[in-house]
Structure 1
Amino acid sequence: MGGFLALHFRPGFQLMYDLIDLAATRFPEQYKKALLKASCPADLAALADDDVLSAIVESGRECFRQGVDGLVTDAQMLYQQWPFDVTAIHRPVHLWQGSADTFVPYAVNKPLGERMPGAVWHEVADGGHFIASSHAAEILAVVANDLAATA
């Protein structure tokens, strides 16, 4: 729905994020419940750790601290043409995607990776949106190896 609204009805897209803002900043328990309800099994497993769940809820509150404009702009970039040519990026760019992500679907990220000559696609089978938490060791190992190779 977000993609459709971003491309065809910006006021509806803005309203969607205004409602998320309201929940995250004023009603964190409802925000937490909505987050859990929208999560795939892999994300539910990651969010079962109270510290991770609290950090995600707090980051949601922080995300909206100055309003929704920054997040709306960021989210719209998922669905619109970028102002630069991604086919000109030849440096390795690691893209991580959980195949079960319910927040940013595979169909949004995979075409981007396919257009970037330097893209290194890391699909996490049955992984969710919070793979940076659930697969942190693997991701950081790749980053460390990549940085070591360029040093």
Structure 2
Amino acid sequence: MGINANELQHKMRQQGEYESLYRDMMVHFGNWDQNPFPQNEGRYVCLWQGHEDKLVPFELQRFLARQLSWIRYHEVPDGGHFIIHENYLYEIIFRKLLLGEEPKIK
């Protein structure tokens, strides 16, 4: 039983588009030089990037991940900007986030 993409979009929008954009801007323009987990060694942020993304270049995300040791970069070879809507990725992403399993991406 998979997650319906329309249901997921609805849940993501429940906080409101303004709030979502506000949070994105805080992250984009925040202080990235500092590790957000200084007291919690071993914690990190997972960054999932579609190689075919036409809005955010994968080269930029690769560079960012190399600069910040607290980011774990995962590239989806055939993924675009909306990779979260790819049904086969749900389980891969959730297994990484919840179980710590290393992703096996096609």
TM-score (norm 1): 0.44
Work out whether residues 87 and 115 of structure 1, in 8 Å CA contact, stay in contact via their aligned partners in 2: no
Specify every segment of 5 or more residues in structure 2 that has no aligned partner in the other structure, as ranges: 102-106
Which residue matches 2:23?
A: 74
Letter in 2 for 1:140: F
CA–CA distance in structure 2, aligned partners of residues 107 and 114 of structure 1: 11
Contact 2:37 2:43 in 1 (8 A): no
The one-letter amino acid paired with 1:137 is E
Larger relative helix fraction: 1
Task: Report the secondary structure of 1:85's partner residue.
Answer: coil
Cα deviation digits, residues 26-84 of structure 1 (max 9, x gap): xxxxxxxxxxxxxxxxxxxxxxxxx424642x3465242xx62x233223235424276
Measured after TM superposition, the shift of residue 109 of structure 1 is: 3.4
1:52 is the counterpart of 2:5: yes
Question: What pairs with 1:84-103 in structure 2 (closer than 5 Å)?
Answer: 85-86=34-35, 91-93=42-44, 94-103=46-55
Structure 1 outlier segments of 4+, above 6 Å: none
- The answer to whether the 8 A contact 1:98-1:125 is kept is yes
Q: Distance in 1 between matches of 2:15 and 2:83?
A: 19
Instruction: Tell me the residue number matched to 2:96.
Output: 142
Please give the residue correspondences for 1:21-36 in structure 2 after superposition, counting only pairs within 5 Å. Answer: none
TM-score normalized by the length of structure 2: 0.57
Structure 1: stretches of 5+ with no match in the other structure: 1-50
One-letter code aligned to 2:48: W
Letter in 2 for 1:113: A
Query: What's the C-alpha RMSD, in Å, of the aligned pairs?
Result: 3.4
